[in-house]
């Protein structure tokens, strides 16, 4: 746990409360990138055991995809005394909703449930969202609302003035076997997006982001937009300088 906290740059009070959970979440998002370098152009199943994830994220200072990052983050939260459990998530993107193919963590604090996610590079909350709070919640400059239908929570995002569904959480604790099926599809199926396209995302402290999609480097940092094509020979240096990665 000590090495993990050092890896994400977290210092100070460790009491399990909302303020510290928010800090843990942001520290993780700003230091550990979403990345698919282990299986991009090399389809294969990845392990989800804690020791393997710890070695990758903490010891070798790599990133990972949602099932990897949220699984190890859930372990850290439990070590710190939080009541936390992983769940399956449906992503609403494009003309039709996706299957339950994403993982996030639900944390229970003072009788309320909170959405935590350190492994989603899409237009979702980049911070803590209370799943049982009415009205608009502003998270790092973006607005969200939450609705509930039975065992499902749905997070809606303000997209150009209209709140649209982004994520639907199935509020049932999931298992390693559940995520193993998800991870197999995204890391081994020949038609899976992440098998065919290098994808890296990392949040920035000012609320911006950095992304590498294929050879296109984009982002927003210091109020300025970034976009440029990166020759393949320069990719290793970019990964180290901008994302802290040495694959």
Residue 95 inside a domain? The answer is yes
Question: Which residues on adjacent β-strands are paired with residue 226?
Answer: 219
Sheet holding 224-229, edge to edge: 34-35, 199-203, 209-213, 216-221, 224-229
Q: Distance (Å, rounded) from C-alpha 89 to C-alpha 151?
A: 12
Residue 233 inside a domain? The answer is no
Distances (CA, A) of 9 to 122, 201, 205: 24, 18, 12
Residue 42 inside a domain? The answer is yes
Residue 196 inside a domain? The answer is no
Residue 212 inside a domain? The answer is no
pLDDT tens digits, one per residue of 82-124: 999 999 999 997 667 678 989 999 999 999 999 999 999 888 9
Query: What CATH number is attached to the domain comprising 98?
Result: 3.30.2140.20
Residues 6+ apart with CB under 8 A from 124: 117, 155, 157, 166, 167
pLDDT tens digits, one per residue of 135-155: 999 999 899 999 999 999 999
Residue 31 inside a domain? The answer is yes
Q: Which of 179, 157, 183 is nearest to 168 (CA)?
A: 157
Is the pLDDT reported for residue 34 higher than 90? yes
Q: Mean pLDDT over all residues of the chain?
A: 94
For the whole model, what pTM was predicted?
Answer: 0.95
Two structure tokens written together for 147: 């609705």
Positions marked active-site: 66, 102, 117
Residue 145 inside a domain? The answer is yes
**What range defines the domain where residue 59 resides?**
2-191
Q: Are 4 and 54 in contact (CB under 8 A)?
A: yes
Three-state SS at 221: strand
The total of structural domains in the chain comes to: 1
Residue 14 inside a domain? The answer is yes
Higher pLDDT, 237 or 97: 237
The predicted pLDDT at position 15 comes to: 97
pLDDT tens digits, one per residue of 37-46: 999 988 888 9
């Amino acid at each position: 746990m000590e090495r993990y906290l050092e890896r994400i740059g977290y210092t100070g009070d460790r009491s399990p409360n909302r303020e510290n959970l928010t800090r843990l979440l942001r520290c993780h998002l700003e230091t550990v990138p979403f990345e698919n370098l282990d299986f991009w152009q090399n389809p294969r199943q990845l392990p989800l055991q804690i020791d393997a994830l710890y070695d990758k994220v903490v010891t070798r200072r790599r990133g990972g995809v949602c099932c990897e990052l949220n699984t190890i983050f859930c372990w850290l939260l439990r070590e710190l005394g939080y009541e936390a459990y992983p769940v399956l998530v449906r992503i609403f993107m494009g003309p039709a909703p996706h299957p339950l193919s994403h993982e996030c963590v639900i944390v229970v604090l003072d009788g309320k449930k909170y959405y935590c996610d350190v492994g989603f590079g899409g237009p979702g909350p980049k911070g803590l969202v209370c799943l049982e709070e009415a009205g608009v919640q502003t998270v790092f400059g973006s607005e969200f609302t939450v609705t509930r239908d039975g065992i499902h929570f749905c997070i809606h995002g303000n997209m150009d003035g209209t709140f649209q569904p982004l994520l639907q959480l199935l509020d049932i604790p999931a298992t390693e076997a559940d995520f193993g099926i998800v991870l197999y599809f995204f890391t081994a199926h020949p038609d899976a997006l992440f098998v065919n396209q290098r994808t890296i995302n990392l949040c920035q402290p000012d609320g911006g982001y950095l992304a590498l999609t294929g050879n296109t480097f984009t982002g927003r940092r210091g109020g300025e937009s970034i976009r440029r094509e990166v020759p393949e020979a320069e990719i290793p240096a970019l990964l180290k300088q901008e994302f802290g990665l040495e694959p």
